[in-house]
Structure 1
């Protein structure tokens, strides 16, 4: 195949006609024909992954479906449709992800035409929600709403996403996924430090808004904090820089080794200077030199829980916590009903598996907050609930060694019950495998799924413990360090409780639990 020639799969991706693919898949499934690799690749392009684990025969007919939220927001009509899908087609199993998307489980191929029609009716899509191409862009959940934001970057997010979507024939054959962040949030909630390419707004001494360009961040097994490119980008340059970075990755990313097929590996192979020079060559102009990193918010302060005055006069927005990102279908429907009851503008997703309801009349804010709280989604959450993240886990993921979502929900409840007086900021992540999709690598306490021996010598579900992860720009960020300690799943809550108790007994000269975790040495 010629270098620029699209394969049949790529042509079908670019055809914008998923129903033909779905009809073929359903027909073959009815005849008992297993899914081909091509079909699986196409389904991923439309945000679908087969349920891998579970019942060997029954579970094979089900899929996880991810919906792309371009600016993290769902208006009232969109929220109502999403709630309908969750209840009627996903068996009430809904997850909010750390990439600000919604995932539905137990989706069947036969229901896809109806689901696609529902999504299209309110301007939503699952195209390019996953697969080897540009992923949904990380941004502020309250862009255009937060009075403290540096700039409302929502229009830039939409501009870049629209460009990739309109030119998908050029961007549907990446070596692997490509993750971008574009944010004007004053609290830096888009986590630019772990994106392939990110644009972080700041104001210079002349009060001009610029974007600090960072490259080559990412987690998984080859985890790395992004480098500053030492370049500032103007708002009108953001789309062009995002596109040429994508072209460079498409043209030069490693296609021989999937484990090396990420932007960070290419930057590390070439060197940062060469990569930046290639950006400017393709742009046809030099970017503004930017040697000074903007002041970046510490990771634990990147939250918007509670009731806040919005930029719009007479309106508020309210931040709520989930429990490990999972939302029952009936709760999702209740959220939609409550938003409609108070005529709120909509609901948006944060990068920590939580959510914000925006466009709430200030006089209604407390009443709405109390009704959502009563569902089990607090606006003043405990430290354990506020920042505990979990991945899909063994329940549905082929890489999962341990079960995570339902387990993590129980962990939160037990931690709250056993440590009612603990009030410090804390991020805990529970991951079902070493890929770390729940971000244990940047958490205060990370639990990475593995098999361990219990006291009787049986192999059971357990976790490798890593400590001290943090985000705060290029210089202040750190990847969590390995402790060499393993805990069984049944002992995880006690392990956290013992850490808290040891800190309270002797803080080792540290003023916060977060700093203590980066200092303490654990007994193996």
Structure 2
């Protein structure tokens, strides 16, 4: 695909110091930009195949090891035994283990049983059985050695999967509703648009050097399950005043240390226009995005500085060559939880069955089991969700009860508690070099404790556990968001703990969680803290009041 011709730019007076290509500033302003200019990240694939996999870990160029290998979903994982206090102190080579995390991209969350089996086989052969479902619908493996990577790629690509641009400053996985095409209330099926975007842009060198990562969602889900409000670009299903089905365009969402909600451009995008409009948005990011400071290099900063009117003007005049019609905002999300756990009818008379692995943690054997259960019950499709859950599609009515029973018997809950259903956790210090605290086991223990202490708690409640400030687990938009940090316990010792964000939400009253001054907890005291706050909520809430609404009016004493 060719890069759009660059028009003369006599306007857009952003300082050259931001490193924006469209303003004629091409000289790299930091080490990351220098590495990308020296060699496209996509070119590392052949070196992995020809050199590194044959000569071993010590042969890997450092610029590839901590940079370009991400373009194929590979990060070195954290060396075991390094505590969180050293995360920001040690040099990268001191944190690096000789093993990799490998991220398999699953666009739209769509997997066949055959594809799921291949991931399971790779997990058991090369990843010590590890397999985590992420909140971006991917599956992550750990303990991968560089020698195994070419064979892993061959196995994945033989069934239509890949790790291309699963990480790096690239267009990463495209989120989609796992029920696309089958949901009885669906506004529009975005499957074809996801496929076209993937086939057009992923792996194209014209879009493989972006200022930072670029996150996408395309969905007509009535529950808004793809959290469009916090993606760099999102296409949300709508029906215009002519009765035509298409998409509403959102840009500039993202969390991390400077969270911002995406903004509507107010345009109606017809289904056949989605790929071109996506190309325009990602082109703006590539050409006008800030490249000087990494922490300001996301598209949300550009959108925030420009405003939606200017962004729309540049998109239409410089990248599309035509105006887009005005369009309606999406309907409010369908009531209840924005996930797909449970048993529900499909358009075709079959049923889908959504189930909850605990905090997304699975293993190779469990993936094989899920594939077996799906196949035995007549399904060839197992999809992932953005809540670290999974869905088996196309189950005949007379097979539903049997499938539910077998899933439940294997701790894959179809009717989970609120705590099992709505607690997420990032990778944490077990494998992540950015993490300060442990997350998966902490969140799992928290679920067990809360199920015992509050067995009758039925209200929707999201608890998101993050190992560092970067918000991979979306702490700012959770009812209870936990940001990992070291805290001092009652004995004066520095231990693992969390800063607490309360009352974040997406949807009707989208907003970031409330931070109460000094509100922290140790990991050990976390179950006590959450139990105490939830009991206060239960006693004080008005009828139909959500936890997030209660938090906004609650006394600080009741939140501590």
Q: TM-score, normalised by structure 2?
A: 0.88
Distance 1:245 1:234 in 2: 16
Which position in structure 2 is the counterpart of 1:165? 202
CA distance in 1, matches of 2:159, 2:364: 19
Q: Distance between the aligned counterparts of 1:501 and 1:58, measured in 2?
A: 41
8 Å CA contact 1:298–1:472 kept in 2: the answer is no
Q: Does the Cα contact within 8 Å between 1:45 and 1:127 map onto a contact in 2?
A: yes
Which moves more between the two structures, 238-247 or 205-214?
205-214
Aligned-CA RMSD value: 2.3
**Bigger CA drift: 508-517 or 435-444?**
508-517
**Alpha-carbon distance in structure 1 between the residues aligned to 2:307 and 2:379:** 48
Match of 1:203 among 239, 242, 255: 239
Gaps of 5+ in 2: 1-20, 29-33, 83-93
Q: Quick check: 1:517 aligned with 2:546?
A: no
Q: Partner residue of 1:366?
A: 401
Match of residue 105 from structure 2: 68
3-state SS in 2 of match to 1:423:
coil
SS at match of 2:153: helix
Paired with 2:257 and 2:95, the residues of 1 have a C-alpha distance of 32
1:66-89: CA deviations, max 9, x gaps? 001122111011011111112221
Structure 1 contact 508–520 (Cα < 8 Å) conserved: no
Per-residue Cα deviation, 1:237-267 (whole angstroms, up to 9, x for no partner) = 1111110111111011111100000111111
Displacement after TM superposition at 1:26 (Å)? 3.8
User: Does residue 492 of structure 2 align to residue 466 of structure 1?
Assistant: no
- Contact 1:134–1:177 (Cα < 8 Å) also in 2: yes
In the aligned structure 2, how far is the partner of 1:125 from the partner of 1:472?
A: 32
* CA contact 1:141–1:349 (8 Å) conserved in 2: yes
Q: CA deviation at 1:7?
A: 7.3
1:25 equivalent in alignment to 2:52: yes
Structure 2 contact 107–194 (Cα < 8 Å) conserved: yes
Give distance in 2, aligned partners of 1:384 and 1:517. 18
CA–CA distance in structure 2, aligned partners of residues 245 and 422 of structure 1: 43
Instruction: Supply the distance in 1 between the matched residues of 2:316 and 2:355 (Cα, whole angstroms).
Output: 42
1:43 paired with 2:69, answer: yes
Aligned partners of 1:507, 1:147: CA distance in 2, in Å? 33
- Residue number in structure 1 paired with 2:191: 154
Find the aligned partners of 1:14 and 1:436 in 2 and give their Cα distance: 27
Aligned-partner Cα distance in 1 for 2:165–2:152: 16
The aligned residue for residue 530 of structure 2 is 496
User: Aligned equivalents of 1:4 and 1:142: distance in 2?
Assistant: 45
Out of 127, 131, 134, the residue aligned to residue 94 of structure 1 is: 131
CA displacement, residues 297-331 of structure 1 (integer Å, 9 cap, x when unaligned): 16853122211111224x21111112111113221
Give 1:506 deviation, angstroms: 2.7
Q: 1:495-521 CA deviation, whole Å, 9 max, x = no partner?
A: 111012112333378733342233223
Corresponding residue of 1:278: 314
TM, length-normalised to structure 1: 0.93
Matched residues in 2 for 1:301 and 1:318: separation? 15
CA shift, 1:121, in A, is 1.4
- 2:173 is matched with 136
Alpha-carbon distance, 1:276 to partner: 0.9
- d(CA) in 2 for partners of 1:435 and 1:7? 23
Displacement of 1:116: 1.0
Counterpart Cα distance in 2 of 1:300 and 1:29? 51
Q: CA deviation at 1:443?
A: 0.3
Determine the C-alpha separation between the residues in 2 that align with 1:361 and 1:489.
Answer: 44
> Which one of 315, 331, 336 corresponds to residue 371 of structure 2?
336
On the 8 A contact 2:131/2:139 being kept in 1, the answer is yes
